[in-house]
């Protein structure tokens, strides 16, 4: 119970700081979509609401930043329970998928288009997690879905590995 209270205080504090930072910025801040290849990522489809500005800032700040990040996204999984993204890849290309969920609930993440398909279910909130994948074709498909009745806010990113 104490851990939950401390986590909630930390999330609220970071949220207020993110809100203040976004409000005091001299120009509107575009959503982070990735450093490279953002135009090659299909928008998410399925049951996702666009994240609110404060929630997106908190979620994306929970992921580390790397110079070879090719895609970053946040979503709130709603009543339809899932969202799917498709991104261009190169056969044999190595990628690191990182994800984190910040709200209570259960999350399932799946990667297709990799040499070895991968999936994992996790309890939320939690620390960011990573998985290495090797693309088997021209596209990687990433699916995130909630496993229970709660809305789940999730942030994901893909980093190209050399």
Going by pLDDT thresholds of 50, 70 and 90, the confidence category of residue 33 is very low
Contacts of 41 (CB under 8 A, 6+ apart): 33, 34, 70, 71, 73, 85, 86, 87, 88
The reported pLDDT for the residue numbered 38 is 36
Q: What is the pLDDT of residues 95-120, one digit of tens each?
A: 999 998 888 888 899 999 999 889 99
Find residue 76's DSSP bridge partners.
Answer: 49, 153
Whole-number Å distance between alpha carbons of 41 and 139: 9
Closest CA to 154 of 68, 46, 67, 66: 46
Q: Which whole-number Å values give the CA distances from 109 to 4, 16, 39, 59, 121, in the listed order?
A: 24, 29, 23, 16, 6
């Amino acid at each position: 119970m104490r851990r939950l209270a401390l986590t909630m205080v930390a999330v609220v504090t970071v949220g207020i700081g993110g809100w203040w930072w976004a409000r005091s910025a001299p120009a509107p801040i575009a959503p982070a979509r990735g450093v490279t290849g953002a135009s090659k990522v299909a928008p998410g489809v399925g049951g996702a609401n666009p994240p609110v500005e404060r929630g997106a800032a908190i979620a994306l700040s929970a992921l580390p930043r790397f110079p070879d990040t090719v895609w970053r996204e946040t979503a709130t999984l709603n009543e339809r329970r899932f969202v799917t993204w498709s991104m261009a890849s190169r056969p044999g290309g190595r990628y690191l998928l990182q994800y984190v969920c910040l709200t209570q609930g259960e999350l399932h993440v799946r990667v297709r288009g990799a040499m070895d398909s991968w999936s994992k279910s996790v309890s939320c909130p939690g620390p960011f997690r990573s998985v290495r994948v090797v693309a088997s074709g021209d596209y990687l498909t990433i699916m995130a879905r909630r496993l229970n009745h709660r809305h789940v806010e999730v942030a994901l990113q893909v980093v190209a590995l050399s």
